[in-house]
A and B are shown apart, each in its own frame.
Chain A
């Protein structure tokens, strides 16, 4: 039976908590309510309140306590009700968790997963629409993943839970119930650090992740008669899969990076720089980027559309780079 993206997340947590009694979940309204979006539905009934913890509104506590649990052998999943709220726990991620192993000279690891709904397109406004990956992309010691499909949502969450390092898991709320697909029953993982080649093509490489993957795939189908697009879904942002990017851009000679996070200081800039540095002689045009405009996530419909890289802008950006 097909499952939605959010059901895949729910299944991953069920299966991992079943598999390993050290896996637990802490967050706001994750227990009795089953999560604001129902990501943790059924977990409290199945695993009890010691392992599924309804916390007060205390993001710093949620993440800090997660570190305290992790050093005692637990594998906590820490939910940010909206990932925008991660700013309230920023220090615990960046100063506490990310440096834990380093400042202890390798004596310990920090197996925590911080997950929560990110992304725009649902009229969330300033504080329910953000894409915070670039803030964490800059921090050594962290891993950052962002699934675009139900299959990856499950497999990446399982991989994140089993990983011994702190992983930021960004689930795009626009995809929660819009994506529905058949996924395998039972256990599988999607390895951290490996991109997915969603479509092979000869003309242009589009490197993307999260929600825009679907707009890019639609563009690839719609434009198939004019441009042969290769689509890379990064899946893991830190560390990103350079080998897959390298191979593809050497072949197509054109690279377009698309993300919903803001343009300036975004991940696209880093990937573009790497391509420019290492693949300069293979390029047939400038490395290009399409991202959200450099403003806040405005609420009113036309403003939100103006800001984010929607279908129309994706198509236009692909045409532009293909023309070189």
Chain B
């Protein structure tokens, strides 16, 4: 890996964390409304996967994958405006960040029905296949969503047609409050891949090296026409399901255990062992990402609040005319 790439990866990890932390702060200050679903602690997954993608590959992120938007090239200013529900957001205020994608960056906006994007990702991958396009689709979902029927239907179909899709499962051990042992009777949900006729793989979602290696393999496999991969990344969210959830269903010890495996600190240890001046890099990148997020917040705060009647726009591509 080149030094430039190592530093770039660090920049993305830090930008996502800065962005996430700022949103949490804004939420506490009452400056933003609606659900905030922090992905803090899971940054290595979205960075490791999205950094391996090309601009015309499609991603289908879920509610905790704000970082995927950033790495895939979404403008941080517009993303923040989306979080604020302003007119310059991708939804123009019609919903908050997780539901408005950025089609110019090949990012699809999910619904709140977890796992429902997997059939859509599979349809997109089917088009890539029949039109012989050298592109892949990445469907993000949590281990919680893995219980939904949509996930089964999508994977089954993708297996039949060996579609260029990666099913990227972020296993963070809780579906809201429900622990894994109450969600499924297996240790690794990726074991299910066998039943769909494709490869399953498990990696440490808090270790960027591990994610990148596994993601690269899965993406290469998809590009080579060898079919999907069920890639499960074990990780952990530091915050509750959403910001109002105090996550009393888990122990402090468990949280601290995972914080000691922090993906950003791990990458800093790596950079340090590479004999880079980590103190200088940390300060420099810290200042850069702070400025980006400051600018994004300023932009979002200045962006117009939509007017009430705008709620009637964008319902139809071919507007229906009323008599």
- Please list the residues of chain A having a beta carbon within 8 angstroms of any beta carbon in chain B: 50-51, 55-56, 58, 60-61, 63-74, 76, 91-92, 95-96, 99, 101-111, 140-141, 143, 163-165, 193, 238-239, 241-244, 246
Contact = CB atoms under 8 A, between A and B. Distances in A.
Nearest to A98: B315
A105 B127 contact: no
A69 B126 contact: yes
Contact of B101 (A104, A106, A193): A104
A20 to B, nearest CB: 14
Contacts of B91: 102-105
Contact of B318 (A73, A165, A244): A165
A168 to B, nearest CB: 14
Interface of B: 89-92, 94-95, 99-104, 108-109, 111-113, 116, 118-128, 130, 137, 149-150, 153-154, 156-157, 160, 313-318, 320-323
A141 B124 contact: no
A99 B111 contact: yes
Most interface-central of A58, A104, A108 (chain B CB within 10 A): A104
Contacts of A143: 316, 320
A239 B318 CA distance: 12
Nearest to A58: B153
A193 B116 CA distance: 30
Contacts, number: 149
Given A64-B118, A105-B92, A239 B313 contact: no
Contact of B316 (A69, A105, A107, A165): A165
A69 B127 contact: yes
A34 to B, nearest CB: 20
Contacts of B321: 193, 239
B315 A68 contact: no
A69 B122 CA distance: 9
Given A60-B149, A67-B123, A105 B314 contact: yes
Given A68-B123, A71-B108, A108-B103, A56 B160 contact: yes
B157 A56 contact: yes
Given A103-B94, A104-B109, A242-B323, A141 B153 contact: no
Contact of B157 (A55, A63, A104): A55
A104 B90 contact: yes
Contact of B125 (A68, A73, A108): A68
Contact of B103 (A51, A104, A164): A104
A302 B37 CA distance: 56
Contact of A69 (B92, B116, B123): B123
Given A104-B100, A105-B90, A105-B314, A61 B127 contact: no
Contacts of A69: 123-124, 126-127
Going nearest first, the 3 A-B pairs with the smallest beta carbon separation are A68-B123, A64-B119, A243-B323
A243 B121 CA distance: 41
Nearest to A70: B123
B323 A68 contact: no
Nearest to A66: B123
